[in-house]
Structure 1
Amino acid sequence: MQYVRTLIWVAITAFVVLFVTMNWGEPQEVRIWPSSDGDNFLFEWPVGVIAIVFFLLGMIPTWIYHRGVKWSLNRRITSLENAVRSNSLSARHSAPPPSPSPAQTAADASDAGTAGDTLKPDDSN
């Protein structure tokens, strides 16, 4: 994927360089803002420079917006991953069940010898 991206950027750069070299010639007037005395605030630039400047003026705000959205989504994904990681760790390391009291342990031991033995004959007949 990186190869395709690099190839596209090389093609765009070659196109811009070709456009600028073909249109480099007489400077053109660019009227930026009219002044209070009726004159215009203007620059005289070659057409290639004008194209590059106005292309960047259009692309930079869009690029900044894209980077902001990407940053926001990466923060959201990281937050959700941390929440899942926290929940899985808390379920794995939950508190052990309470241990039985010594009185219950002694009673269970005396019953275990008779109640749980299936090999002894049943005296209830």
Structure 2
Amino acid sequence: MQFLKTLFWVLLAVVLVLFGTRNWADVTLNLWGDIQADIKIPLLLLIVFLLGLIPTWLVMRARMWSTNRRIEALERHQATAAESVAPASEGPVI
């Protein structure tokens, strides 16, 4: 299974490199007003991908942090509850 995963990532990297080399051309972006920017197509795609990925990743990390805090609080509560429970009697068990 690890081989298939590695093969997938290698093929994806090869496809991205081929796409980048074949489309290494300037694109003119018309920004606000009369401002224009020239940028290569693969760099533009990378910037747009990161602009979409970073907010989603930040939301995921915030949810993981919150979930981990809840789990740790529950584990602390469970540990203190287990310590506070004492045996009912010290007599022999029949």
TM-score, length of structure 2 as denominator length:
0.74
Q: Work out whether 1:46 is the aligned partner of 2:77.
A: no
1:53-68 map, 5 Å: 53-68=47-62
Q: Deviations over 1:53-92 (max 9, x none)?
A: 1111111111111111111101111111111111001114
Match of 1:32 in 2: 31
CA-based RMSD of the aligned residues comes to 2.7
Q: Cα 1:19–1:93, aligned 2, differ >3 Å: closer, same or farther?
A: farther
Q: Distance in 1 between matches of 2:43 and 2:78?
A: 52
2:85 pairs with 84, 87, 91, which one?
Answer: 91
Q: Work out whether 1:74 is the aligned partner of 2:68.
A: yes
Q: Distance in 1 between matches of 2:11 and 2:58?
A: 23
> Per-residue deviation at 1:9?
5.0
Q: Work out whether 1:18 is the aligned partner of 2:12.
A: no
Report which of the two structures shows the higher radius of gyration computed on alpha carbons: 1
Equivalent pairs, count: 88
Match of 1:103 in 2: none
TM-score, length of structure 1 as denominator length:
0.58
Q: Cα 1:28–1:60, aligned 2, differ >3 Å: closer, same or farther?
A: same
> Per-residue deviation at 1:20?
1.4
Q: Distance in 2 between matches of 1:45 and 1:93?
A: 73
State the identity %.
33
Q: Cα 1:77–1:14, aligned 2, differ >3 Å: closer, same or farther?
A: farther
> Per-residue deviation at 1:15?
3.5
